Structure 1
């Protein structure tokens, strides 16, 4: 009887040890809830859906890599961009990973991680306007924004409006990019300020537009968490740091995403490095 009892105790101890081990590590073992990542899946190559309706893109892979870093499963919450921050506030999402630009207004309602994407500030100008005013990339931004009688058009709520206004320039605000590009193309407006996508916009109208690269401002995009969620914020910051290290996400992803960035920017000379580092001043 004592021998049987001893065997039973040994088996029980082994089960308890295995149970304790299974509680460490990833979510599949610990039962920790999935990390709910909010993003708007209609901004390729960063966030989009494949032919089967599954999330894909650079930031989708970043979200999955962050989940691996935390040892948690990832659940993508497809959310319209305008509703991303409300999704945090209601608890529908834990974190936003969706090329969200850091600005003072958003910092009032969310906490941002360290940046992981950067956007140049560029100006699409009419070619005739550039010739008349001797616009070159060497022109100082103060001189560029001082050109008299220049007509500015910009997308409401974006740097298209805020950057020119910071130089005291009035801007005709519009609600869609296409109409602004058409105005530059047909000469009814002279300057359209934007981000990296200006490169592709110029590619659409190469005969009638030029790009001015001399603006010094640039944007930073970061992950966003609910105000006060310091634990997840610290984890996001630590992960972003690893992305840039040898063997980190960006160091191993270049070959995969360079072609996508070529296509996005309409420039074969620009790859992933162009959007993950701040521009040299």
Structure 2
């Protein structure tokens, strides 16, 4: 009997150790180190950029800062080009991708995405003197259209404007808009929130009529980070209910109100 009880106690201790180890997860890591590490693409407003005062800001950055503040931890921001975001997350360098990323089937097969933080309207832009008036006018052989490298914008060009030639830019929307403004492209595709500021900045571009796609944009975590994914979903619910999310989206995404404060 004594030998049996010892065996039972040893088994119970082993089970408790296993449960304890299983309960240690990515949220424990964040709280334990006192840091929320995010990957961003700091290539241009309004999602993530460095403003006139040298401060890193934008919609994604401010949402992540709000999360860190509510968790009582420090926000640590790591900057990558677009194609470097997913590798940074999968390699464990960061806890989360905080970007305007569409949860496509291919990406969702690799990562866990939060509920949509906001939505983007994908539009086309052309030089002001272009004869094109609607995005369908760019679907012509001989035209070269730009998009962020490895983005859903490039996929939209392939799918909806297959007659045109796609050219991708690692520098994101900022690099693509610069190429268009300088005459190296016939058009570009990106989201309305991003291109509005560049159209205002360069002065020689125009947004064409029509919305190509309307896509959800979400933050992403590692494929086994279930607790953090559920926490993110819950957080979106909370900041939707208290209107903090709407206030951030209105300021950064639906208007150019941010420009007077940060440009």
Please list every run of 5 or more consecutive structure 1 residues that lacks an aligned counterpart in the other structure. Answer: 1-26, 267-281
Supply the distance in 2 between the matched residues of 1:84 and 1:254 (Cα, whole angstroms).
22
Deviations for 1:32-53, whole angstroms, at most 9, x for unmatched residues? 3324221337344433457887
Deviations for 1:154-197, whole angstroms, at most 9, x for unmatched residues? 1343344321210233324143412233227xxxx543222223
TM-score, normalised to structure 1, is 0.63
Supply the distance in 2 between the matched residues of 1:254 and 1:119 (Cα, whole angstroms).
11
Query: Rg larger in 1 or in 2?
Result: 1
Supply the distance in 2 between the matched residues of 1:238 and 1:64 (Cα, whole angstroms).
16
Aligned residues: 220
Q: CA deviation at 1:231?
A: 1.0
Could you say if the C-alpha distance between residues 35 and 110 of structure 1 is closer, same or farther in structure 2, counting changes exceeding 3 Å?
Answer: farther
**Residue aligning to 1:157:** 150
**Residue aligning to 2:11:** none
SS in 1 for 2:114: strand
TM-score, normalised to structure 2, is 0.66
Residue 230 (structure 1) aligned with residue 230 (structure 2): no
Supply the distance in 2 between the matched residues of 1:159 and 1:183 (Cα, whole angstroms).
23
Q: CA deviation at 1:226?
A: 0.4
Please list every run of 5 or more consecutive structure 2 residues that lacks an aligned counterpart in the other structure. Answer: 1-26, 170-174
Supply the distance in 2 between the matched residues of 1:150 and 1:127 (Cα, whole angstroms).
19
Supply the distance in 2 between the matched residues of 1:199 and 1:49 (Cα, whole angstroms).
18
Q: CA deviation at 1:233?
A: 0.4
Supply the distance in 1 between the matched residues of 2:253 and 2:164 (Cα, whole angstroms).
37
Q: Report 1:88-167 matches (<5 A).
A: 88-130=89-131, 135=133, 144=136, 148-149=140-141, 151-155=143-147, 156-167=149-160
Between 1 and 2, higher relative CO (CA 8 Å, sep ≥ 6) is seen in 2
Could you say if the C-alpha distance between residues 124 and 259 of structure 1 is closer, same or farther in structure 2, counting changes exceeding 3 Å?
Answer: closer
